[in-house]
Structures are given as C-alpha cells and as structure tokens.
Structure 1
C-alpha cells in the first residue's frame, strides 16, 4: 500500500466528502497550489476535480499544460486515478479522459476503472443501484465507488510478463493501411512476444443489440453473446488468452471505425463474466489529417474506464498519414516504432 499524493482542484462540499470517505486509513499528502505540484514520479496520484456549470476548471487546465510542457517523464512510474464532481450532467467524462491522456503521455499508468464521477444529480449511479441488493442512496454508492478507485490506485502493481501474448485487432486492408504498416514496424521489434492478429472484416461483427442486463448476463455465463459469430468463436478466446491487447485504429471522422466500435461494444458480454484488470492495452492510431488524440480519448473511455483494461504509460503511438504508404515517409518513423516497442517491452521480466 503506497502513500497517496492528492492533487485537488476545487473546494465543493461534495468533493470534500468524496475525499474524506475514500482516503480513510491511507497516508496522503494533499496539494492545492499548482506551483507545488511537482516531483510526480514514482507516486500514487489522485486527481480530485470540481467542474463548475461551464464544465471548466481553470486550475486543472493549467496543471494539464504543466504536465505536457514538463516532458514525457514528468509522471514516470506513477499510478493515477481520478475523483471528479460536476455541477450538472455534462463534462465529467470528457475532462476525466483528457486528464488521463495527459498524465499517461507523461508516464503515468492507470489501473482499470480509475475514475469515479459524480454528475450533478448522481443519476449516473441509477443503473448500478438497480442491480444492487438493499436500499442504498445514490450518494452512498458514489462514496463506495470513490473508495474503490482509491484502493485500485493505492494497491495497483505492474505485473511483469514472460513471453507475453499480444493480441492485435485491426479492420483495415493490411496491404494499403498506414495503421497496419506502422504496426508492422512496431512488431518487428517485439521478438520476445507471442503475437496473434485478428482481422475484423466488414460485416463479420454485428454491433451490440443492447440486451437487457439479465439477458446479457445469461449469455455471459457460457462466454457467449446473443449474436455469436467471430466475436464468440475467435475474439473472446483470444482476449481471455492474451496479456496485452493492441488496437489498430485509423481515424474515421474523428472516431474509431464501425467495425472496431462494434468489437468494443460486443465485449460487454465477456466483461459481465470476466474483468480485465490484469490485461494491458496499447493502440496505434493514424489520422489522415488531425485528431489522433480524440481517438485516444475514445479508447481510454471504452477500454480503460469502462472495460477495466490497464492503461500502461504512453499507451498510444499516434501519427498523421493520408495516402497509402505515407506513414513510411515520416521522418524517423522506424525509430519511433522501435521506441514504442521498447516501451511495451518494459512490461517483460
């Protein structure tokens, strides 16, 4: 159990209650002055954030700028989590995943489900309450959720892997895709790993039907899903078997493409049965114009915050390339690919 470093941005009573309840029994230092938020390497860092009606916290923005401008190792070997309180129903998830992105690019690891968020009404806990036995208030559920986040941050460990099994999921044409070409450069430097690739072809994965919770839970008991197909026959077993998931994600209109989105949505049935706290995920993202950070944010939400995959430091390799073959013309691209592979290999014992 490590001592916690709390970076506090806000003074609301509810954020105070969230911290008071979740920090009981832990040793912690709290900082409210950005100028004192230094020496963030090898720490257990908890961001505690208030968002006001406009969804903006100026001090948080200044801190993210400080993290970015302080270099790629400002939070090296640290573990992070977030408690966030909003005055309304908006902005909390967006600001949380942006904070995770900045800290992660500076070397901070985030365990699965590193976020507890309080929307203005706390109605974001209604679904959880509906499947919880007994009478529990929404605020009590929030406080328990905050405590779980702090426990993950305080007790999370980086598990070293031997000959790790890597699963790469991709949807594009391997002969013309810049994203796949960049992955090829990366995997050339992953000789100590066992690599499996699954091509998600057009039409091979039907998107999630949105089954009721009990129906989804029923299928999950047999590691199944309403639609079956390649997800149940190939992807589910490969996910369960892998140590590291690599998502190859070209930018489609500032979003991951439909096939990869369907894969993530369909993971819900597997997630009902098996959590992914012990699995790492990385991504290779290529944009034709700009916006790779938006794809990274989306993946952070879907796989780290929602589906419990661990987010290792500097999880995304992001480049800009439009026409087929353009990625290979980027200056020092093979060195960048090798550096990304070496980052993955830090997990190997």
Structure 2
C-alpha cells in the first residue's frame, strides 16, 4: 500500500505569507483585538497630537509663498525658494541671531545640562529620606513658575532697588548694573534657566540612580573602593544610558534656546545681544509681517533639528549606547 504524500496547497502558503505575524506568533489583527482597550485610551492623546502638532505642519507651505493673512494660504502667490534667500544672504540681523543662538546653546551645554546631574548625585548622597523629599519638593517648585514670574523675581532681586543693590550700597561697593547690562545678559539667562529647571531635571537622573543595584556598591566597598571610586566606577556608569538619552534630545533643541525667557528681557538689553532665531522669527513674522521669510527660517531650523537628533543618535550607537531607539541587528 503506497503512502500518501500531503502536498501543501498554494493558497495556504500565499495566505501565510500575506498575513504578517509578530515574533510571538500573533497576527496584527489578533494583537489589535487583544490591546483594543489600551489603544482606546491612547486615542484621545493621539488625536490631540495629530490636530495640534502634525496638521499644523501643513502650514509650512507659506515658506514657499508670498503669504498675506487677508488673502489666505491658498490664494497667496508662489515664490518658490525666494524666502530662503535670507539663509544664504549677508543680512546682519540674521547672522547676529545665528551667532547669539550658537553662543547661548554652547553655554547651556556647558553649564545647564550638567547641573541636574550634579544636583541628582548630591541629593542621592543624602542619608535621611525625609530630608531628601523635603529638598526635592523645594527644588521642584521653581519649575512650576512661569517665565514672567521668574524674570520679575530676578529683576526685583538684582535690579537697582533690590536687595543686592542695598547690600552693595551699604558696604560702599557702589550700585551693581546687572539687569539691563548687555554684558551680563547671557550669563543671566543661564542662571535663570538653572534656577528654574535644574530641580525638575533631576527626576530622571534620580530614577536612574534608584535603579542601580545596591550589591554593586557593597561589592565595591568590600574591594576597598572609596566613596569617590564608587561614584566613578558604579554610579556614573549606571546613569550613562539616561544621560545619553537626555543629551540626544537636548541636541535636537540646540537651536531653540528659550523664546519666552528671552523676549521678556529683550527691550532692556537690545536686539544686538538678545536676538536669537526664535525671536527673529517672531519679530520678522508676527511683528514685521514677513510671514514667508519667518516660515522659511523655522522650516530650516526644524530640518536641522531632525538631522542633529539622528546624527547624535548614530554617534550614541557607535559608542555602544541605545540612544533614542535600539539599533537593529543585521
């Protein structure tokens, strides 16, 4: 009696190839039905993101038009790349905005970015948990203040009628000229940024520090490692992935240095030292009516930000770090 050989049907093979499956063996629709409740919770946030983040990107078309608000986007004439001429021209205002943006960005990377890391390490060294929570609450508070309040506080403290002026006058050191002084404007921006956001920035680093295995510290102590050696060989390597992730995200915002903070103090110091790309777009677009030019500058700035994020993430992969996403294995 001959054995029957079962030949797979072509329809079965085509159907198995046509329906992609995940590594767990479930098809897309099976996973969709399984996670339908979670997807339902995500839907409102996704709708808000779509309506207020992605759909407005279509308005970047005015970068290629001579846009007039009373005419509308559709009726405004096309001008091609004419609005982008400012990027390659010798306009002193634009070059000044680029220079100020790069200087403030460099100062932020040197002083503002490491400040939350140092503060998180200092707070993590506190022995009393109750005292640590009190300190955290105090340091988080400035983050919830608006820039209007922060700038007003600094102007009151460092201004001509503030406590600093009274102390300096009492000791015969003369009246300090900080608020409104162009020479102190950029350092003052960094000081304000650190005071407002440093405490809030420690949240992720404190979470990373809490995730370090305590057995590593015990093993280092048994080997005779001092507190400094434990910090260098256990603590810092434990938070490197989080530091790299935050740094990659920060690099993507290199050309955005704080619009509201700067525009509130621009009149006191002048455009020469305070004009950055964000305020340039505002002053020329909304105030000056150059909508197309401002949209072109904003569009190029966004494209550069994407390239910076991708480049920084690629460099993170070269150094063996995950970055924003895990590198695919070939």
TM-score computed with the length of structure 1 as normaliser: 0.23
Greater relative CO (CA pairs within 8 A, separation 6+) = 2
What TM-score comes out, normalization by structure 2 length?
0.24
Structure exhibiting the larger radius of gyration computed from Cα positions: 2
Structure having the higher helix fraction is: 2
- Structure that is richer in strand per residue: 1
